[in-house]
Chain A
């Protein structure tokens, strides 16, 4: 069964003459352990697809299911809980909270969910350890490099029992080496059973995905399985 499923999802902004169809009857299914890349030109609806999949926005029509549960039946409170426990976001510009250290940023979703501070910190430190950031745990975002910030953002997206990671241009603000490191981490997470959807402009990075979905004018125009890239055959490792 698909962990994330979009059924005939449409999203319309504005009314009348100002109506814009951001998404039109999009269907998409992502299984656990799989990494799906979404590509398309600007304004094709990539980010809208991600925000609807992550319950940040409501579709105008259609249905979104996460782990078999329809989002349309959920209250706002349930959706907030879903984001705390199941869905992890990674943004192009990291979106780390400036007033919190790396460890506190990572433990934040757990604390928001009611986990005690010590337990949440232990869990955050474990993830940061996996990503090779333990020695940067006490640093604030403005004391970290771009690559480190994005790794902290990924750690925050996968901490706890998250099963779905949605990444919007996660390597957009990084150089190629750090961009590939980010993709490696996402791939490693997927191998641990996480379903991931990555929006990217970079065909090279998209080739890390099991499947690439092409969007144009809000419609899925193609879905391909890219050939295995030399990098994807490498063991995932952390880029310093």
Chain B
């Protein structure tokens, strides 16, 4: 437009803004796509961030508002003196006494708890649901679940041993809904098992106060917390939306070209004219942000009870991460503002007379050079290389972020060049394909942003596919689900799955032979109740594998390849090499060099220094280079006996005396149900064992396949949103083609070639960019084994993205483009 510079000030802006608002109100349906995308992105962020922030159990559930917690055994003769000492040293304390009682007729237990509801620190751990708190020796308040189990209501009498108490209220620990207890006033628990004292010992470190004292975990200072992860996801999502929105706003500006020309002919400056388009973007962003937040909050209201029930603590109705919500709204407005800025600038460059004529502006020349994009890619490559070189120290996260940030503009800047290259390559194609590819190149301002969005979607998927396959393929630091869904392991107290429930500094004693035998009997009873196919006793000893080379090192347990274990997994003794020390199903482990088997025959007594138990040193042991044989029949779970030491090696190393039963692996014919697991856990607990079942860790194939589906689906969704806009620009050409006798076949070919071309380029550019990033990260990354780790990349999935995306886009484009567009019927052929 010819006019530039300021003019009219606030009054002009108000007038132009009013017009923009009216246009939005009149034409909001044409902006529904962008609006819907923003609403979905903001709503998903609100719900996702709220769920992620509220799901972890709050630390208040144990500490209340105290900074420190001291644990005493109920029968500790120094209990009173210890509490008095803490009170004398640190002032107010909150004493909570617990006695474990069994629910009559069941194996369930609950606590008889003495706690002051008005205590200085424990108040967040108590909430009165109905009635009132117990005030005297004859009163008690119950949690709802316990009241139900005991068939008691408010006003009923509760007889427990010699005591009779009246139920005066229902209470709960809002921080832990699994906490079942009967609340009595302080001092009313006759024989407490444990006594917890809450106090504020700051600034004295907890370990300096005593071995039985735990300090409150410091606030999460990790930069990668639920809020930042939600925002990072939102930012990437908004970049994709902004790239799609550029096309939408460009078409809208094109439709309003005459009006904008009119405005300029009345004396509106360039700023006024571009303000209309920008204001439109802001209005869409604000509307999307407000609607998205409202929808997100409504969804949160609906989802919150489920989350409360699954996370077992009370979550406030408005316990939303407000900073994330506000930032999500700001990001939504910013992304639409910047998406509208490009067409806003473009429209001011159109001469007024051309704008008034309403003729479509000639395609804007977009710089074809690939140099800026390549420069960004190179910068990204070096940042990621730098990050890779620091991976072994646990650092490099900032460099990873910077590398990914440089990778995105690289893709965006390379997109127009790729479109030109494709048009050049297709210069000898049939006319409809040639025209489609040429239109993509001619209108690069629009198709370039769509291509960039598709490429970024594919880039994310490719990075996930490659990184997951590299990580999962690491034979030393094994990743994946712990067990299969039809497996469970019962551990003895000293087995690998054991987590000490005792106060810090007090270690579990190894079970005696009789105890182990009793546990074994119980394990077989559990297996029998489950109808198990196999029960395998797991034996372990003090040997470990390691590798004398940089990178990830061994994790997981080494069990003994007993005949029973081999038989359970269908491994014949003749299949085991007599020279083998280790059998493993981990692919690649047998071929690794510098592997060491470290063992210990005899340990010195554990040392207790100031209440801290130090690792008992090995007095007699050694190291050897093991012969490792790969045996694919062993189970693949991380906690399962995927790597075992042969009995010959145990004898050779003199480790027979170190053998101890670690647990029992039970395998059933069908996946275990929740009630089966619950019953097994109760049975294990009653025998002093712990139980491990399948966790939620996905398998490598699951991650890779989901990422592949995500990449293809995202690319197709962006194509669905963009191809219509791109083809709308050339509606005039379509009418001309129709006038020259082109039929639905040509229309289908045009749309299919547009979609297929964009899909192919997007898949190619995204895959190349993904490889640039991953190669950069891996080439100097000793932790993951360097560039050779790329040998594990699932080529089939990458081919599916590269070939499947354009094929699907072409097919959908062909199928959906048969109908004659309305514009052909309503507008005369020019």
Contacts and interface: CB of A to CB of B under 8 A. Distances in A.
Contacts of B531: none
Contacts of B5: 75-77, 80
B432 interface: no
B269 interface: yes
A11 to B, nearest CB: 11
B11 A117 contact: yes
Nearest to B6: A77
A108 B17 CA distance: 12
B261 to A, nearest CB: 8
A112 B262 CA distance: 13
Contacts of B266: 83-84, 89, 108-109, 112, 156
Contacts of A80: 2-5, 7, 264, 267-269
Given A108-B15, A112-B266, A112-B268, A77 B4 contact: yes
B11 A115 contact: yes
Interface in B263-282: 263-269, 272
B258 A79 contact: no
| Chain B binding surface, main DSSP class | helix
Interface stretch (B160-168, B216-224, B334-342, B350-358): B350-358
A51 interface: yes
A54 B352 CA distance: 11
Contact of B7 (A56, A84, A97, A117): A84
B255 to A, nearest CB: 11
B398 interface: no
Contacts of B4: 75-77, 80
Contacts of B258: 95
Interface stretch (B18-26, B68-76, B788-796): B18-26
A117 B8 contact: no
Contacts of B265: 54, 56, 83, 89, 95
A104 interface: yes
Contacts of B268: 80, 112
Contacts of A107: 15
Interface in B300-324: none
Given A91-B356, A95-B262, A104-B18, A116 B267 contact: no
B511 to A, nearest CB: 82
Given A79-B2, A81-B267, A98-B259, A112 B272 contact: yes
Contact of A114 (B3, B11, B26): B11
A113 interface: yes
B394 interface: no
B704 to A, nearest CB: 51
B236 to A, nearest CB: 35
Contact of A55 (B2, B9, B10, B16): B2
Given A77-B4, A113-B12, A100 B269 contact: no
A111 B15 contact: yes
Contacts of B9: 114
B799 to A, nearest CB: 50
B69 to A, nearest CB: 65
A77 B271 CA distance: 11
Contacts of A100: 18-19, 22
A149 interface: no
B745 interface: no
A85 interface: yes
A175 B321 CA distance: 64
Contacts of B3: 76-77, 79-80, 83
B14 interface: yes
Nearest to B270: A76
Interface in B346-386: 351-353, 356
A202 to B, nearest CB: 22
A83 B273 CA distance: 15
B272 A56 contact: no
Contacts of B25: 99
A76 B356 CA distance: 18
Interface string B155-197: 0000000000000000000000000000000000000000000
A97 B262 contact: yes
Of B9, B23, B266, chain A has the most CB atoms within 10 Å of the CB of B266
B2 A114 contact: no
Interface in A83-142: 83-85, 89, 91, 95-100, 104, 107-109, 111-117, 120
Contacts of A89: 265-266
Nearest to A93: B258
Contacts of A91: 262, 356
Nearest to B4: A76
Nearest to B272: A112
Nearest to B262: A95
A57 B351 contact: yes
A95 B11 CA distance: 22
B263 A82 contact: no
Interface in A191-207: none
B88 to A, nearest CB: 74
A91 B263 CA distance: 13
A77 B262 contact: no
Contact of A99 (B19, B267, B356): B19
A111 B266 CA distance: 11
Interface in B613-637: none
Contact of B356 (A75, A95, A96): A95
Contacts of A95: 258-259, 262, 265, 356
A67 B541 CA distance: 104
Nearest to A94: B262
A83 B267 contact: yes
A99 B8 contact: no
Contact of A51 (B7, B267, B353): B353
A85 B268 CA distance: 11
A76 B23 CA distance: 27
B543 to A, nearest CB: 80
Given A80-B2, A80-B3, A108-B15, A113 B8 contact: yes
B353 A112 contact: no
B200 to A, nearest CB: 61
B10 to A, nearest CB: 8
A212 B2 CA distance: 30
Contact of A97 (B14, B19, B269): B19
A84 B264 CA distance: 10
Nearest to A88: B266
A112 B259 contact: no
Contacts of A51: 352-353
B267 A112 contact: yes
A97 B351 contact: no
A51 B265 CA distance: 9
A95 B353 CA distance: 13
A100 B12 CA distance: 14
Contact of B267 (A75, A97, A113, A120): A113
Contact of A111 (B8, B22, B269, B351): B8
Interface string B238-268: 0000000000000000000011001111111
Given A81-B7, A85-B267, A99 B23 contact: yes
Contacts of A117: 11, 14-15
Contacts of A114: 7-12
A96 B266 CA distance: 11
Interface string B125-147: 00000000000000000000000
A82 B267 CA distance: 7
Given A54-B265, A113-B8, 15 more contacts: A56-B2, A77-B3, A77-B4, A77-B269, A79-B2, A80-B269, A84-B7, A85-B267, A97-B19, A97-B263, A99-B25, A104-B15, A108-B266, A111-B15, A114-B12
9 contacts: A77-B4, A79-B3, A80-B5, A80-B267, A95-B356, A109-B267, A111-B11, A112-B8, A112-B266
The 4 closest A-B pairs by CB, nearest first: A84-B267, A80-B3, A99-B22, A77-B5
